[in-house]
Each structure stands twice: as structure tokens, then as C-alpha cells.
Amino acid sequence: MAWLKVRYSPGFQEDLTSWTLVVDTHGRVHQQIDVRRFAPREERVEAHEWALSDRALSEVRDRLNSLDADSVRAAATEFVIDDAEHIEVTWQSEAGSHWFVAPLEWWHHQALRGRAQPSVVLQAVALWRVLASLSRHAARRA
């Protein structure tokens, strides 16, 4: 059963690669990467499966348990960027289902530039750093 699902959809850019990462309650991971690049032209689908370490699984759980999904959703609607990436995070806890869609990568870059952000955004960015590090897809940097 899926405990955590992360869907990454890119913003407007040459690399339109998207991916979905699903983690079950035991830390087994399945990721599908839909590679779509314009230059050089590249289209393929990759599938990866692996298991998270207990430490990695614990870190993800701790970050999710300390995050208020409603507050992240509210922050994501305060300033909308049409061409930014969208990251959807859905997870289960004892309290029920939680989800949000937010431009976590854009928020991450804003944090690196020193832009002041609400604490919930900084928590979401910290979660994004952990989730992005789990992905088998490494965005190609120009």
C-alpha cells in the first residue's frame, strides 16, 4: 500500500522530464521517470525499484509528521507562478490523508537566494530536499 506519493511536473523549460515516486510503509520505493527533452531530443520511460534505509525512511516520516499540509497549500496560493514546476505530495498518517501541491523547487531556489519565507515554506523546502535526494532522476544542469 502506498504510504507516500510524490509527483514532480516541470515548469516551462527544455527538459520536460516528470517523475512519480511511491513509497510503501516498509520503505520500498517505486519510481517512474518520463524523460522528455528537446535538445538533444530524448524520450523514454524509466522504472526503478529499491528500498530506503531505516534512517532515510525515518527522516521522511519525521518531516512529514511535522508539516501542516493545509498551511503549505495556503502558502502555494499566495503567489502563483504559471511556469514554475509543480510538486504534489500525498501521504497517509494515523490522522488520515494529507496532500499539497506547491512549487517546492522554486521555493528552494528562493531560499538559496536568501529571500525571507514563512516557516511552513522553509519546512516544505527541507522536505523537498529530502524527497529530491531520493529520486533516481538528476535534472541535467546547463
106-129 pLDDT, tens digit per residue, is: 888 888 898 888 999 999 999 999
Q: And the C-alpha cell for 104? A: 517546492
The CATH number that domain 2-134 falls under is 3.30.1560.10
- Looking up cell 530536499 gives 129
- Percent of the chain predicted with pLDDT > 90: 66
Answer whether 93's CB lies under 8 Å from 64's CB.
yes
In which element (H, E) is residue 139 found? none
3-state secondary structure of 21: strand
8-49 pLDDT, tens digit per residue, is: 999 888 889 999 999 999 999 999 999 999 888 999 999 999
Q: How far is CA 77 from CA 29, 84, 100, in A?
A: 30, 13, 11
Domain ranges across the chain: 2-134
